[in-house]
Amino acid sequence: MKVLILSFSSNQVNEDSYIPNKIGLTFSCAQECEKKLKENGNEVEHICMNKKNIQKCLACGKRGWGICLEEHKCILKDNFNEIYEYMSNFDAYIFITPVYFWEMSESAKTFFDRLKRCDAFNDNSKIKHKKIVCIACAGGSGNGTEETLKSFDILNHFLETEMIGRIPITKANFENQKSTIDKAMKF
Ligand SMILES: Cc1cc2nc3c(=O)[nH]c(=O)nc-3n(C[C@H](O)[C@H](O)[C@H](O)COP(=O)(O)O)c2cc1C
């Protein structure tokens, strides 16, 4: 299977990083997923979405709908449409976000807001019925992890994808939760 990991944290572990935190939970989870998926014979790609230019939805057009409703693309000229199209090449998706203020990160919210609009009423959707695993990475308290996973449940509802794993991670439970992640990587 071809699996696409989309992560939405500021962390990026390489020399063109623009971010201080190089040992983030989100990135560590993405690495764990990638390792297990490859061990299980899958082809994997990981995109760090914070490096992409994804602007906020303008709710353009009449009654709050733009061309997204009929044409299933966005009018904004940024990286959204190319990533949405690119997603059709994959059989399953792993979505990983940090928990900020009891919610998914801003970059995740911005991307999924537009994905819902373009895909939810797309009869020719290439995402529908595909499997997803959603991971919420929180700090010490873990507050907001469930709320973040709930937002993924709503996304799953509108995309009509198949949620096969919703995984709460904190700094304290990460080592133990690796086995949960590993199990979820068996598509
Ligand atoms: C702006 C901001 C808001 C945060 N809000 C929460 C929160 O509501 N609940 C929580 O448990 N941790 C919260 N945290 C901590 C992060 O979820 C935690 O550090 C997580 O590991 C971040 O992901 P990363 O390690 O990939 O950077 C927040 C961190 C930031 C920067």
**DSSP string spanning 106-125?**
HHHHHHHHHHHHHHTT-TT-
- What is the token pair recorded at 58? 């303008």
Domain ranges of the chain: 2-184
How do strand 92-100 and strand 103-104 relate by DSSP bridges? antiparallel
pLDDT digit string (tens) for 70-119? 999 999 999 999 999 999 999 999 999 999 999 999 999 999 999 999 99
Rounded CA-CA distance 109/76 in Å is 16
By alpha-carbon position, which residue is closest to atom 30 of ligand 1?
100
Closest ligand 1 atom, residue 98 Cα: 23
CB 172 less than 6 A from any atom of ligand 1: no
pLDDT of residue 140: 85
Please choose from 101, 109, 135, 145 the residue to mutate so as to test ligand 1's pocket, defined by most ligand atoms within 8 A of CB: 101
Q: Write out residues in the chain with pLDDT < 50, as ranges.
A: 18-20
- Give the per-residue pLDDT at 13: 57
Instruction: Evaluate whether the domain defined by 2-184 bears CATH number 3.30.950.10.
Output: no
Backbone torsions φ then ψ of 97, nearest 5 degrees? -130, 150
Whole-number pLDDT of residue 14: 58
Global pTM reads: 0.95
